[in-house]
Structure 1
Amino acid sequence: MEMVRLKCGFENSIDVGSVGSKERISLGWKGNFLVHLKSFSSFHIDAEIHDDECDVVWRLMGFYGNPEEKNRRESWDLLRRLGQEQTAYWIVLGDFNEIIHSFKKKGGRLRAERQMEDFRMALDDCGLINVGYVGRWFTWERGRVLSTNIRERLDRGVATLNWFNLCPQYQLEHLTHSFSDHCPILLDTLGKKRASRIKDKPFRFEAKWCLEDSLEEEIKRFWNDSPGGVPDKLGGLGQQLQSWSNFQAKCKRKNRLMLEDRLNCLNELDPTDEILGEITDIQLELNLEADQEEIFWEQRARVNWLKNGDRNTSYFHKVAVQRQIRGQIKEIEG
């Protein structure tokens, strides 16, 4: 979880391991004063969010339903107890390990109506309403051939009516994935109101460029074709590499989007062995791209950052400043 937090830029977090399962729940955030932790257990993290955009405090809960069917009612009792401390604005996100209706499942054995009714009653008792979604209908899948394929919507968001009024432009999206059997869900409280911000960044050589076969040829071509001395060539090379990197990133992004679109289309079709086989091929290709990105982050992030960065903010910033100072070129000798 530390690596994921570093990639997202979260300075603070709490990680809780689930009892009797490899699963864990985690909450990460930026800034010390935006999140106030209320309570946590192996199956939930409850926090207050100090929202500067709305200038209000609302309640966010990450929830993990008990994976054991016989213990599922304990999860709903926990949700009811937490719901007694009711606030005006409350949203719950997570893997509930249960579906609301039988049509939210395809394949496998039928879900008992009593189980689904228990889940629906727990949500009603807490005043929680399904927030809907954008993207494919299922969030969990198992089985790569038609005879064993199972699809369910186990991950969801539910909220109180007042939370809907607070964030009317929200959007919850089922994201494309290639690693886990669960797909990530992304909640954007601003939705269409979110404005894109572009910041000018100074040139920095990125370690991931070394993974590109065309890097060496690009440097040789520019250096041989450019006039002027070494300082002029170095200045121009930085701009050229940045343009080359942007072009490479656009090509990769275009290819990734094509693969994700194709994956989404395949997931909407009734599964066959051929379709499930193509889904596996696309996921492998996406995995290769993700592996390359993982190498980049492992090269960029020092072991001490992973070890101490999340526990000691002062240490983290000192290391960053020292790296910046060491990376400066103060003079060039001819």
Structure 2
Amino acid sequence: MIGGDFNVVLNDEEKIGGIPILAQDIKDFAFCINSCELEEIQFKGNPFTWWNGRATNDCIFERLDRMLLNAELQNWFTHLEVEHLARTCSDHAPLLCTYGEVTQNQHRPFKFLKFWVDYESFFGTVESTYGDIFKQFIIREEIVRIKENLFEESPSSGNRSLLQQSQAEHKKYLHYEEEYWRQKYGIDKFVEGDRNTKFFHNLVKGRRKRLQIQRI
């Protein structure tokens, strides 16, 4: 499997606005894919994975990011799927590759998390959702998707402002998610830098695994 930003499109339908596509670039990219005997994984979500950050006549949307795999991997994983996530921290959309059936999350008992007090609507949030930060995170991500589609249909300065506001709200909930996993592992202090959400999540999973009883 190979994936990421290839910085080239495969046809005219994968681009809106900007400089015309060079036919030779499209042929070279298609020839490379065929020579390596790769196939593209079907995707869902927004068809465009890159935006130049501008509005009106200077606005450009392109599909530059994709996931490719060979026949052997397709035999191992028959239900691979790629989802184009919302563009929040970059001008490129993250690609989420999944396979098989999605397991439902188990119900968890209510627990108070101290980072909730930093939220401006703390009491209302607790009363309405019992502090389900993950549900709120999904809602904010969906709002970003809607604003992206609205801006692509009408790339005005006003719609760009609405998109940027929804992206800022989404980033705030990214912070809440990070604080959740940090508290779950019991770390009070850590060096600020790159986002540590995945790091804390893996630590919690590792601790749970160590606490499991394998045999008596």
Deviations 1:61-89, CA, capped at 9 Å, x for gaps: xxxxxxxxxxxxxxxxxxxxxxxxxxxxx
- Compute the displacement of 1:132 (Å): 2.2
> What corresponds to 1:263 in structure 2?
147
> Greater share of strand residues, 1 or 2?
1
**Which 4+ residue blocks in structure 1 deviate beyond 6 angstroms?**
240-243
CA shift for structure 1 position 150: 0.7
Output the amino acid matched with 1:207.
Answer: K
Aligned to 2:103: 195
- Give the match's secondary structure for 1:303: coil
Q: In the TM superposition, what is the alpha-carbon distance from 1:201 to its structure 2 partner?
A: 5.6
Give the stretch that moved more between structures: 109-118 or 286-295.
286-295
How far did residue 278 of structure 1 move?
A: 1.7
After superposition, the Cα gap between the structure-2 partners of 1:187 and 1:249, relative to the gap in structure 1 and judged at 3 Å, is: closer
Q: Which residue of 2 aligns with 1:5?
A: none
Could you tell me which amino acid in structure 2 is paired with residue 159 of structure 1? L
Contact 2:86–2:141 under 8 Å retained in 1 = no
In structure 2, which of residues 11, 18, 35 is the aligned counterpart of residue 125 of structure 1?
Answer: 35
**How far apart, CA to CA, are the structure 2 residues paired with 1:197 and 1:101?**
40
Share of identical aligned residues, percent? 23
Give the structure 2 partner of residue 244 of structure 1: 130
1:95 Cα deviation (Å)?
A: 1.0
User: Residue 286 of structure 1: SS of its match in structure 2?
Assistant: helix
Instruction: Tell me, yes or no, if the aligned pair for 1:136 and 1:267 is still in contact at 8 Å.
Output: no
2:171 to 275, 282, 290: 290
TM-score (norm 2): 0.71
1:211 aligns to 2:97 (yes or no): no
Cα distance 1:164–1:97, how it changes in 2: closer, same or farther (>3 A)?
same
Q: CA deviation at 1:214?
A: 4.5
Unaligned runs of 5+ in 1: 1-90, 219-239, 310-315, 321-334
Measure, in 2, the Cα distance between the counterparts of 1:176 and 1:107.
Answer: 20
* Cα distance, 1:147–1:264 mapped onto 2, change above 3 Å: closer
- For the residue of structure 1 that corresponds to 2:130, the secondary structure is helix
| Letter in structure 2 aligned against 1:245 | G
Aligned pairs, how many? 192
1:195 and 1:298 mapped to 2: Cα distance? 24
Deviation, structure 1 residue 197: 3.1
Report the secondary structure of 1:134's partner residue.
strand
- Residue 81 of structure 1 is matched in structure 2 by none
State the Cα RMSD in Å: 3.5
Distance 1:135 1:268 in 2: 13
Any stretches of 5+ residues in structure 2 without a counterpart? Answer: 197-202, 208-216
Which structure has more relative contact order (CA 8 Å, sep 6+)? It is 2
Structure number with larger C-alpha Rg: 1
3-state SS of the aligned residue for 1:196? coil
